[in-house]
Amino acid sequence: MGLDRAAATEALDRFLSDRALTRAQLDFVSLVVEQLTANGILGVARLYESPFTDSAPHGPDMIFTDEQVDGIVVILDQVRAHAAPTSASA
Domain total in the chain: 1
Q: Residue 43: how many CA atoms within 13 Å on its side-chain side?
A: 5
Is residue 35 domain-resident?
Answer: yes
**Buried b / exposed e along 52-82 (16+ C-beta atoms within 10 A):** beeebeebbeebbeeebbebbeebbeebeee
**Is residue 71 over pLDDT 80?**
yes
pLDDT in tens, 10-65: 888 877 787 788 999 999 999 999 999 998 899 999 999 999 999 899 999 999 99
Distance CA 83, CA 90 (A): 16
Is residue 88 domain-resident?
Answer: no
Is residue 59 domain-resident?
Answer: yes
Total H helices, total E strands in the chain: 4, 0
pTM (2 d.p.)? 0.83
Q: Residue 70: how many CA atoms within 13 Å on its side-chain side?
A: 3
